[in-house]
């Protein structure tokens, strides 16, 4: 079930999950969301083995089923993506399902593998196999709506995980925190009328996809369970972290979650070609610790972090190390 990434600790370890099929999703090296992103993450974590020794395990997971995708997605979208993957396999080249979203002949296996990794992470945390977890999800997911693939995202990994926790009775209320530089419009759309999933997003605004205004707060029974925090480009780092801490406290007090999921976009780091913010890896270590402290108070520490954006591979790798270090209880200066 698990391979050691630095051994085992007496208490449950932090799990790191990256399904081997995920790297085979081939959008082309000229595409921002290319295969090198996961390779950079794997390399950065390998270089940090000494600090992570005894605290992090690499976990293998089974592929998800189409029924898992159907927890949040329309059958028409599932069929469209599967058919596009078939054409890409036949033609031997990527096929567009959206102007900026591509599939290759290996993308279906990547989708099911990545969703399966997310499910293993959340259910493994509930079962006590892992203290918490990081899922190197690819393709990413937070732009995928119930019926549309967009923004490099085919299916919404974090939304499937939240829906599965609730379907299995493992969480009554879930808080999803999204700090990608782009608004997680797909996640918001899926749960916009749902009072049992609170969606908190800090994002650059205005920016792609053009949503996430402060007045988008939910609809119907879900009114008040969406909190958008639009931020200007080049927001000072200290202001960003302080704003994040206040917004998270508001979300936790309103939601009282049984589980916290995080959409971690490393495009929020300074220098990302598709972003415009100033954060450094140490800031994401701090925001992760803030989430963990909140989870310790409200949901016995149940936290799983999902990879979303991040398009400078070296910076994305460094950011991933910072987040995994935080989850594993390792300081940045060790």
Rounded Cα distance between 205 and 41, Å, is: 27
Contact 268, 180 (CB under 8 A): yes
Neighbours of 317 (CB within 10 A): 26
Four-residue CA torsion sign, 168, 169, 171, 176: positive
User: For the chain, what is the radius of gyration of the CA atoms?
Assistant: 18
123 as an active site residue: the answer is no
Structure tokens at 124: 């493994």
User: Which residues neighbour 244 within 8 Å (Cβ) at sequence distance 6 or greater?
Assistant: 179, 202, 229, 287, 290
**E strand or H helix that includes residue 244:** helix 237-255
Q: Three-state SS string across 265-312, please?
A: CHHHECCCCCCCCCECHHHHHHHHHHHHHHHHHHCCCCEEEEECCCCC
Sequence length of the chain is 334
Rounded Cα distance between 202 and 255, Å, is: 17
DSSP 199-240: EEEEEESS-TTS---TT----GGGTTSEEEEEE-TT--HHHH
Task: Kindly list the strands in the beta sheet with 56-59, ordered across the sheet, starting from the edge strand earlier in the chain.
Answer: 2-5, 56-59, 14-17, 132-135, 303-307, 259-264, 174-178, 197-204, 226-231
Contact 204, 181 (CB under 8 A): yes
The residues pairing with 307 across neighbouring beta strands, listed in sequence order, are: 264
Cα atoms in the Cβ-side hemisphere of radius 13 Å centred on 129: 16
From the candidates 19, 123, 142, 143, which is the catalytic residue? 143
Active site residues: 143
């Amino acid at each position: 079930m698990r391979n050691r990434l630095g051994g085992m600790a007496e208490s449950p370890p932090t799990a790191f999950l990256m399904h081997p099929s995920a790297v085979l999703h081939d959008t082309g090296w000229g595409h921002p969301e290319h295969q090198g992103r996961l390779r950079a993450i794997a390399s950065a974590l390998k270089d940090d083995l000494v600090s992570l020794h005894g605290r992090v395990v690499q976990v293998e997971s089974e592929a998800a089923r189409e029924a898992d995708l159907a927890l949040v997605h329309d059958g028409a979208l599932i069929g469209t993506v599967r058919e596009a993957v078939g054409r890409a396999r036949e033609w031997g080249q990527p096929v567009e399902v959206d102007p900026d979203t591509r599939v290759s002949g290996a993308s279906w296996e990547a989708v099911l593998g990545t969703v399966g990794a997310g499910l293993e992470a959340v259910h493994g945390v509930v079962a006590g196999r892992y203290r918490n977890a990081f899922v190197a999800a690819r393709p990413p997911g937070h732009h995928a709506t119930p019926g549309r693939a967009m923004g490099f995202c085919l299916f919404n990994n974090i939304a499937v995980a939240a829906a599965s926790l609730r379907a299995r009775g493992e969480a009554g209320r879930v808080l999803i925190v999204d700090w990608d530089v782009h608004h997680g419009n797909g996640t918001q759309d899926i749960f916009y009328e749902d009072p049992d999933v609170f969606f908190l997003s800090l994002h650059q605004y205005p920016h792609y996809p053009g949503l996430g205004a402060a007045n988008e707060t939910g609809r119907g029974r879900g009114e008040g369970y969406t909190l958008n925090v639009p931020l200007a480009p080049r927001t000072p780092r200290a202001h960003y972290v302080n704003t994040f801490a206040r917004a998270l406290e508001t979300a936790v007090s309103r939601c009282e979650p049984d589980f916290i999921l995080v959409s971690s976009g490393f495009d929020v780091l300074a220098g990302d070609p598709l972003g415009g913010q100033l954060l450094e890896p140490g800031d994401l270590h701090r925001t992760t610790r803030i989430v963990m402290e909140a989870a310790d108070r409200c949901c016995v520490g149940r936290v799983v972090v999902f990879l979303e954006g991040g398009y400078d591979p070296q910076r994305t790798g460094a950011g991933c190390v910072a987040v995994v270090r935080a989850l594993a209880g390792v300081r940045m200066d060790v």
